[in-house]
Structure 1
Amino acid sequence: MIDTKDLIACPTCDALWRAAEPKEGERAVCGRCHTVLRTPRKGEATRITALALTVAILLVGTIFLPFLHISVRGFSNDSSIVDAALAFSEGLTTPLVIATVAMVLLIPLGRALLLLYVVAPIAFTGRPQKGAATAYRWSEDLKPWSMAEIFILGCAVALVKVTSLATVVFGSAFWLFSILVIITVFQDGFLSRWSIWQTLDQS
Protein backbone atom coordinates (compact mmCIF):
# COMPACT_ATOMS: atom_id res chain seq x y z
CA MET A 1 0.00 0.00 0.00
CA ILE A 2 1.22 3.48 -0.91
CA ASP A 3 0.54 6.37 1.43
CA THR A 4 -1.52 8.98 -0.41
CA LYS A 5 0.79 11.64 1.03
CA ASP A 6 3.50 10.21 -1.21
CA LEU A 7 1.40 10.66 -4.36
CA ILE A 8 0.95 13.72 -6.54
CA ALA A 9 -1.81 14.14 -9.14
CA CYS A 10 -1.22 15.96 -12.40
CA PRO A 11 -3.65 18.93 -12.57
CA THR A 12 -3.92 18.53 -16.36
CA CYS A 13 -4.39 14.82 -17.03
CA ASP A 14 -5.06 13.49 -13.47
CA ALA A 15 -2.23 10.96 -13.68
CA LEU A 16 -0.93 9.82 -10.27
CA TRP A 17 2.80 9.78 -9.61
CA ARG A 18 4.97 9.05 -6.63
CA ALA A 19 6.04 12.45 -5.27
CA ALA A 20 9.80 12.92 -5.43
CA GLU A 21 11.67 15.95 -4.15
CA PRO A 22 13.50 17.57 -7.10
CA LYS A 23 16.95 18.95 -6.50
CA GLU A 24 17.64 22.66 -6.67
CA GLY A 25 17.22 23.81 -10.27
CA GLU A 26 15.35 20.65 -11.32
CA ARG A 27 11.65 20.13 -12.04
CA ALA A 28 9.24 17.25 -11.51
CA VAL A 29 7.28 16.82 -14.74
CA CYS A 30 4.27 14.64 -15.56
CA GLY A 31 5.43 11.73 -17.72
CA ARG A 32 2.17 11.69 -19.65
CA CYS A 33 1.43 15.33 -20.56
CA HIS A 34 4.70 17.00 -19.43
CA THR A 35 2.95 19.43 -17.07
CA VAL A 36 5.35 20.80 -14.46
CA LEU A 37 4.33 19.34 -11.09
CA ARG A 38 7.01 20.66 -8.73
CA THR A 39 9.71 23.30 -9.06
CA PRO A 40 11.40 23.93 -5.72
CA ARG A 41 12.80 27.45 -5.31
CA LYS A 42 14.45 29.14 -2.38
CA GLY A 43 12.42 32.00 -0.94
CA GLU A 44 9.30 30.92 -2.84
CA ALA A 45 6.87 32.08 -0.14
CA THR A 46 8.54 35.50 0.06
CA ARG A 47 8.34 35.97 -3.71
CA ILE A 48 4.68 34.99 -3.85
CA THR A 49 3.91 37.34 -0.94
CA ALA A 50 5.59 40.24 -2.72
CA LEU A 51 3.85 39.49 -6.03
CA ALA A 52 0.41 39.07 -4.43
CA LEU A 53 0.83 42.35 -2.56
CA THR A 54 1.85 44.05 -5.81
CA VAL A 55 -1.21 42.67 -7.59
CA ALA A 56 -3.50 43.96 -4.82
CA ILE A 57 -1.95 47.45 -4.93
CA LEU A 58 -2.16 47.62 -8.74
CA LEU A 59 -5.79 46.51 -8.72
CA VAL A 60 -6.74 49.23 -6.24
CA GLY A 61 -4.94 51.77 -8.42
CA THR A 62 -6.77 50.70 -11.58
CA ILE A 63 -10.12 51.33 -9.88
CA PHE A 64 -9.53 55.05 -9.37
CA LEU A 65 -7.11 56.05 -12.12
CA PRO A 66 -8.22 56.84 -15.71
CA PHE A 67 -8.09 53.87 -18.06
CA LEU A 68 -8.51 55.71 -21.39
CA HIS A 69 -8.70 59.25 -22.70
CA ILE A 70 -10.80 59.50 -25.86
CA SER A 71 -11.16 62.64 -27.96
CA VAL A 72 -13.04 63.20 -31.22
CA ARG A 73 -14.08 66.42 -32.96
CA GLY A 74 -13.22 68.61 -29.99
CA PHE A 75 -14.98 66.42 -27.42
CA SER A 76 -12.93 64.42 -24.94
CA ASN A 77 -13.57 62.12 -22.02
CA ASP A 78 -11.54 60.28 -19.39
CA SER A 79 -12.92 56.92 -18.34
CA SER A 80 -11.94 54.48 -15.63
CA ILE A 81 -12.83 50.80 -15.63
CA VAL A 82 -15.64 51.40 -13.14
CA ASP A 83 -16.98 54.35 -15.16
CA ALA A 84 -17.08 52.23 -18.30
CA ALA A 85 -18.95 49.46 -16.48
CA LEU A 86 -21.46 51.80 -14.83
CA ALA A 87 -22.30 53.34 -18.21
CA PHE A 88 -24.24 50.15 -18.96
CA SER A 89 -25.74 49.69 -15.49
CA GLU A 90 -29.36 50.25 -16.42
CA GLY A 91 -32.01 47.77 -17.38
CA LEU A 92 -31.23 44.22 -18.44
CA THR A 93 -27.47 44.82 -18.66
CA THR A 94 -27.07 45.33 -14.90
CA PRO A 95 -26.21 41.66 -14.18
CA LEU A 96 -23.62 41.79 -16.94
CA VAL A 97 -22.04 44.89 -15.38
CA ILE A 98 -21.88 43.21 -11.97
CA ALA A 99 -20.29 40.10 -13.48
CA THR A 100 -17.74 42.18 -15.41
CA VAL A 101 -16.64 44.22 -12.39
CA ALA A 102 -16.47 41.07 -10.27
CA MET A 103 -14.39 39.04 -12.73
CA VAL A 104 -12.08 41.88 -13.75
CA LEU A 105 -11.52 43.60 -10.38
CA LEU A 106 -13.13 42.02 -7.32
CA ILE A 107 -12.25 38.36 -7.87
CA PRO A 108 -8.57 39.03 -8.77
CA LEU A 109 -8.32 41.32 -5.74
CA GLY A 110 -9.97 38.74 -3.51
CA ARG A 111 -7.65 36.03 -4.78
CA ALA A 112 -4.58 38.20 -4.13
CA LEU A 113 -5.74 38.91 -0.57
CA LEU A 114 -6.43 35.23 0.08
CA LEU A 115 -2.94 34.33 -1.15
CA LEU A 116 -1.47 36.97 1.13
CA TYR A 117 -3.37 35.53 4.09
CA VAL A 118 -2.04 32.05 3.29
CA VAL A 119 1.54 32.69 2.19
CA ALA A 120 2.66 35.79 4.14
CA PRO A 121 2.62 34.07 7.58
CA ILE A 122 4.51 31.10 6.10
CA ALA A 123 7.13 33.44 4.65
CA PHE A 124 7.72 35.39 7.87
CA THR A 125 6.96 32.93 10.68
CA GLY A 126 7.04 29.51 9.00
CA ARG A 127 3.53 28.70 10.25
CA PRO A 128 0.20 29.41 8.52
CA GLN A 129 -2.70 31.25 10.10
CA LYS A 130 -5.85 29.52 11.28
CA GLY A 131 -8.15 28.76 8.34
CA ALA A 132 -5.32 29.06 5.81
CA ALA A 133 -6.27 25.79 4.11
CA THR A 134 -9.82 27.01 3.51
CA ALA A 135 -8.54 30.37 2.27
CA TYR A 136 -6.13 28.70 -0.15
CA ARG A 137 -8.87 26.39 -1.43
CA TRP A 138 -11.04 29.44 -2.10
CA SER A 139 -8.20 31.16 -3.96
CA GLU A 140 -7.80 28.10 -6.20
CA ASP A 141 -11.56 27.91 -6.81
CA LEU A 142 -11.59 31.59 -7.83
CA LYS A 143 -8.72 31.22 -10.30
CA PRO A 144 -10.89 30.23 -13.34
CA TRP A 145 -13.12 33.27 -12.68
CA SER A 146 -10.26 35.76 -12.49
CA MET A 147 -10.30 37.23 -15.98
CA ALA A 148 -7.99 40.23 -15.91
CA GLU A 149 -5.96 38.78 -18.79
CA ILE A 150 -9.10 38.23 -20.90
CA PHE A 151 -10.18 41.81 -20.22
CA ILE A 152 -6.91 43.37 -21.38
CA LEU A 153 -6.92 41.24 -24.54
CA GLY A 154 -10.51 42.28 -25.27
CA CYS A 155 -9.55 45.93 -24.80
CA ALA A 156 -6.67 45.53 -27.24
CA VAL A 157 -8.97 44.10 -29.91
CA ALA A 158 -11.60 46.80 -29.35
CA LEU A 159 -9.05 49.63 -29.44
CA VAL A 160 -7.89 48.56 -32.89
CA LYS A 161 -11.33 49.54 -34.18
CA VAL A 162 -11.80 52.59 -31.96
CA THR A 163 -8.52 54.24 -33.00
CA SER A 164 -9.82 54.63 -36.55
CA LEU A 165 -12.76 56.70 -35.26
CA ALA A 166 -11.21 58.76 -32.45
CA THR A 167 -7.93 59.68 -30.78
CA VAL A 168 -7.22 57.29 -27.94
CA VAL A 169 -4.62 57.89 -25.23
CA PHE A 170 -3.89 55.13 -22.74
CA GLY A 171 -4.35 56.21 -19.14
CA SER A 172 -2.39 55.19 -16.05
CA ALA A 173 -4.80 52.39 -15.24
CA PHE A 174 -4.24 50.77 -18.64
CA TRP A 175 -0.50 50.47 -18.04
CA LEU A 176 -1.04 49.33 -14.45
CA PHE A 177 -3.42 46.67 -15.70
CA SER A 178 -0.91 45.50 -18.31
CA ILE A 179 1.81 45.22 -15.66
CA LEU A 180 -0.66 43.42 -13.40
CA VAL A 181 -1.30 40.74 -16.02
CA ILE A 182 2.45 40.12 -16.42
CA ILE A 183 2.95 39.92 -12.65
CA THR A 184 0.04 37.48 -12.35
CA VAL A 185 1.72 35.19 -14.88
CA PHE A 186 4.96 35.28 -12.86
CA GLN A 187 3.01 34.67 -9.65
CA ASP A 188 1.32 31.57 -11.01
CA GLY A 189 4.68 30.38 -12.33
CA PHE A 190 6.34 30.71 -8.92
CA LEU A 191 3.39 29.16 -7.09
CA SER A 192 4.08 25.56 -6.07
CA ARG A 193 0.70 24.24 -4.99
CA TRP A 194 2.19 20.98 -3.76
CA SER A 195 4.59 22.78 -1.42
CA ILE A 196 1.84 25.00 -0.02
CA TRP A 197 -0.49 22.07 0.60
CA GLN A 198 2.33 20.11 2.23
CA THR A 199 3.04 23.01 4.58
CA LEU A 200 -0.65 23.40 5.42
CA ASP A 201 -1.08 19.65 6.00
CA GLN A 202 1.97 19.42 8.26
CA SER A 203 0.71 22.28 10.43
Structure 2
Amino acid sequence: MHQARERAILQTACDLLGSKSFDCMTMDDVAGGVGIAKASLYKHFGSKEDLCCAAMVKVLHLVNAHVAGLDPSLAAVDKLRAVVRWSLERLLEGEMPLLPSHNSTLRAVLMSNKDYADGVVLLSDTLGEWIVQAQTEGVLDPQLPPLVVLYTLYARACDTVVGFLQESGLYKNDEIMDLVLRTCFDGLRAR
Protein backbone atom coordinates (compact mmCIF):
# COMPACT_ATOMS: atom_id res chain seq x y z
CA MET A 1 0.00 0.00 0.00
CA HIS A 2 2.82 2.38 0.96
CA GLN A 3 4.67 1.72 -2.31
CA ALA A 4 1.50 2.01 -4.41
CA ARG A 5 0.72 5.36 -2.81
CA GLU A 6 4.29 6.53 -3.38
CA ARG A 7 4.06 5.56 -7.07
CA ALA A 8 0.79 7.51 -7.33
CA ILE A 9 2.41 10.51 -5.65
CA LEU A 10 5.39 10.42 -8.02
CA GLN A 11 3.16 10.04 -11.08
CA THR A 12 0.98 12.94 -9.97
CA ALA A 13 4.09 15.06 -9.35
CA CYS A 14 5.41 14.18 -12.84
CA ASP A 15 2.05 15.08 -14.38
CA LEU A 16 1.90 18.37 -12.51
CA LEU A 17 5.51 19.20 -13.37
CA GLY A 18 4.57 18.56 -17.00
CA SER A 19 1.59 20.91 -16.92
CA LYS A 20 2.92 23.46 -14.45
CA SER A 21 6.43 24.36 -13.46
CA PHE A 22 8.08 23.50 -10.19
CA ASP A 23 7.55 27.04 -8.97
CA CYS A 24 3.79 26.91 -9.70
CA MET A 25 3.14 23.42 -8.35
CA THR A 26 2.15 23.08 -4.69
CA MET A 27 2.06 20.16 -2.31
CA ASP A 28 -1.70 20.81 -2.05
CA ASP A 29 -1.91 20.19 -5.81
CA VAL A 30 -0.14 16.86 -5.41
CA ALA A 31 -2.17 15.75 -2.39
CA GLY A 32 -5.39 16.69 -4.17
CA GLY A 33 -4.32 14.87 -7.33
CA VAL A 34 -3.59 11.68 -5.41
CA GLY A 35 -6.62 12.04 -3.16
CA ILE A 36 -4.72 12.01 0.13
CA ALA A 37 -4.26 14.44 2.97
CA LYS A 38 -1.30 16.77 2.74
CA ALA A 39 0.01 15.30 6.02
CA SER A 40 0.08 11.85 4.38
CA LEU A 41 2.07 13.28 1.52
CA TYR A 42 4.72 14.56 3.93
CA LYS A 43 5.10 11.03 5.34
CA HIS A 44 6.51 10.06 1.94
CA PHE A 45 8.41 13.22 1.00
CA GLY A 46 9.66 15.82 3.46
CA SER A 47 9.50 18.74 1.04
CA LYS A 48 8.35 19.81 -2.37
CA GLU A 49 11.97 19.77 -3.51
CA ASP A 50 12.46 16.17 -2.33
CA LEU A 51 9.27 15.06 -4.09
CA CYS A 52 10.09 16.79 -7.34
CA CYS A 53 13.66 15.52 -7.23
CA ALA A 54 12.32 11.97 -6.88
CA ALA A 55 9.97 12.60 -9.83
CA MET A 56 12.84 13.90 -11.97
CA VAL A 57 14.98 10.89 -11.01
CA LYS A 58 12.08 8.62 -12.01
CA VAL A 59 11.88 10.21 -15.47
CA LEU A 60 15.65 9.99 -15.83
CA HIS A 61 15.54 6.27 -15.01
CA LEU A 62 12.79 5.83 -17.61
CA VAL A 63 14.75 7.55 -20.36
CA ASN A 64 17.92 5.63 -19.48
CA ALA A 65 15.93 2.38 -19.61
CA HIS A 66 14.58 3.40 -23.01
CA VAL A 67 18.11 4.18 -24.21
CA ALA A 68 19.41 0.84 -22.93
CA GLY A 69 16.57 -0.98 -24.69
CA LEU A 70 17.27 0.45 -28.13
CA ASP A 71 18.44 -1.96 -30.80
CA PRO A 72 22.26 -1.76 -30.77
CA SER A 73 22.33 -2.32 -34.54
CA LEU A 74 20.53 1.00 -35.18
CA ALA A 75 22.61 3.79 -36.65
CA ALA A 76 23.72 6.39 -34.10
CA VAL A 77 21.49 9.09 -35.58
CA ASP A 78 18.50 6.73 -35.47
CA LYS A 79 19.17 6.09 -31.78
CA LEU A 80 19.28 9.84 -31.18
CA ARG A 81 16.02 10.26 -33.08
CA ALA A 82 14.43 7.48 -31.00
CA VAL A 83 15.43 9.20 -27.75
CA VAL A 84 14.10 12.57 -28.93
CA ARG A 85 10.88 10.90 -30.13
CA TRP A 86 10.48 9.24 -26.71
CA SER A 87 10.86 12.59 -24.96
CA LEU A 88 8.43 14.27 -27.37
CA GLU A 89 5.86 11.53 -26.70
CA ARG A 90 6.21 12.16 -22.95
CA LEU A 91 5.96 15.91 -23.52
CA LEU A 92 2.79 15.57 -25.62
CA GLU A 93 1.24 13.34 -22.95
CA GLY A 94 2.12 15.87 -20.23
CA GLU A 95 4.46 13.35 -18.59
CA MET A 96 7.72 15.24 -19.10
CA PRO A 97 8.58 17.49 -16.16
CA LEU A 98 9.42 21.01 -17.20
CA LEU A 99 13.04 21.73 -16.40
CA PRO A 100 13.58 24.00 -13.39
CA SER A 101 14.80 27.54 -13.88
CA HIS A 102 18.40 28.35 -13.05
CA ASN A 103 17.42 30.07 -9.80
CA SER A 104 15.02 27.36 -8.67
CA THR A 105 15.60 25.66 -5.32
CA LEU A 106 14.88 22.38 -7.12
CA ARG A 107 17.95 22.84 -9.31
CA ALA A 108 20.21 22.90 -6.25
CA VAL A 109 18.54 19.77 -4.84
CA LEU A 110 18.86 17.97 -8.18
CA MET A 111 22.52 18.84 -8.54
CA SER A 112 23.27 17.43 -5.09
CA ASN A 113 21.29 14.21 -5.66
CA LYS A 114 23.63 11.32 -6.55
CA ASP A 115 20.94 9.30 -8.40
CA TYR A 116 20.06 12.30 -10.53
CA ALA A 117 23.68 13.27 -11.20
CA ASP A 118 24.63 9.68 -12.09
CA GLY A 119 21.61 9.36 -14.38
CA VAL A 120 22.42 12.61 -16.18
CA VAL A 121 26.06 11.56 -16.64
CA LEU A 122 25.03 8.15 -18.00
CA LEU A 123 22.53 9.68 -20.43
CA SER A 124 24.89 12.46 -21.52
CA ASP A 125 27.79 10.06 -22.06
CA THR A 126 25.66 7.69 -24.13
CA LEU A 127 24.11 10.43 -26.25
CA GLY A 128 27.51 12.09 -26.56
CA GLU A 129 29.02 8.90 -28.01
CA TRP A 130 26.17 8.64 -30.52
CA ILE A 131 26.55 12.30 -31.47
CA VAL A 132 30.28 11.92 -32.16
CA GLN A 133 29.64 8.72 -34.10
CA ALA A 134 26.94 10.42 -36.22
CA GLN A 135 29.27 13.35 -36.84
CA THR A 136 32.09 10.98 -37.85
CA GLU A 137 29.68 9.28 -40.27
CA GLY A 138 28.82 12.69 -41.74
CA VAL A 139 25.15 12.43 -40.75
CA LEU A 140 25.33 15.30 -38.25
CA ASP A 141 27.30 18.50 -38.86
CA PRO A 142 30.84 17.81 -37.63
CA GLN A 143 31.46 21.56 -37.27
CA LEU A 144 29.00 21.76 -34.36
CA PRO A 145 30.49 21.07 -30.94
CA PRO A 146 28.98 17.82 -29.60
CA LEU A 147 27.88 19.65 -26.44
CA VAL A 148 25.79 22.06 -28.52
CA VAL A 149 24.12 19.12 -30.27
CA LEU A 150 23.52 17.40 -26.90
CA TYR A 151 21.89 20.47 -25.38
CA THR A 152 19.82 20.97 -28.54
CA LEU A 153 18.50 17.43 -28.20
CA TYR A 154 17.83 17.91 -24.47
CA ALA A 155 15.91 21.11 -25.27
CA ARG A 156 13.39 19.14 -27.31
CA ALA A 157 12.14 17.63 -24.03
CA CYS A 158 10.80 21.06 -23.07
CA ASP A 159 10.19 22.51 -26.54
CA THR A 160 7.38 25.08 -26.46
CA VAL A 161 6.75 24.51 -30.17
CA VAL A 162 5.27 21.12 -29.25
CA GLY A 163 2.66 22.73 -27.00
CA PHE A 164 1.83 25.45 -29.52
CA LEU A 165 1.29 22.88 -32.27
CA GLN A 166 -0.77 20.66 -30.00
CA GLU A 167 -2.96 23.57 -28.87
CA SER A 168 -3.52 24.68 -32.46
CA GLY A 169 -5.38 21.44 -33.15
CA LEU A 170 -3.96 21.42 -36.67
CA TYR A 171 -1.80 18.34 -36.19
CA LYS A 172 -2.06 14.94 -34.55
CA ASN A 173 0.57 14.01 -31.99
CA ASP A 174 2.43 11.73 -34.44
CA GLU A 175 2.57 14.57 -36.96
CA ILE A 176 3.89 16.97 -34.31
CA MET A 177 6.65 14.53 -33.37
CA ASP A 178 7.59 14.03 -37.03
CA LEU A 179 7.67 17.79 -37.68
CA VAL A 180 9.77 18.55 -34.62
CA LEU A 181 12.15 15.67 -35.39
CA ARG A 182 12.45 16.90 -38.96
CA THR A 183 13.28 20.47 -37.97
CA CYS A 184 15.65 19.24 -35.26
CA PHE A 185 17.61 16.78 -37.38
CA ASP A 186 17.16 18.17 -40.89
CA GLY A 187 16.97 21.92 -40.25
CA LEU A 188 14.77 24.49 -41.92
CA ARG A 189 16.52 24.77 -45.29
CA ALA A 190 14.74 23.63 -48.41
CA ARG A 191 16.25 20.40 -49.71
TM-score by length of 1: 0.26
In terms of fraction of residues, the more strand-rich structure is 1
In terms of fraction of residues, the more helix-rich structure is 2
TM-score by length of 2: 0.27
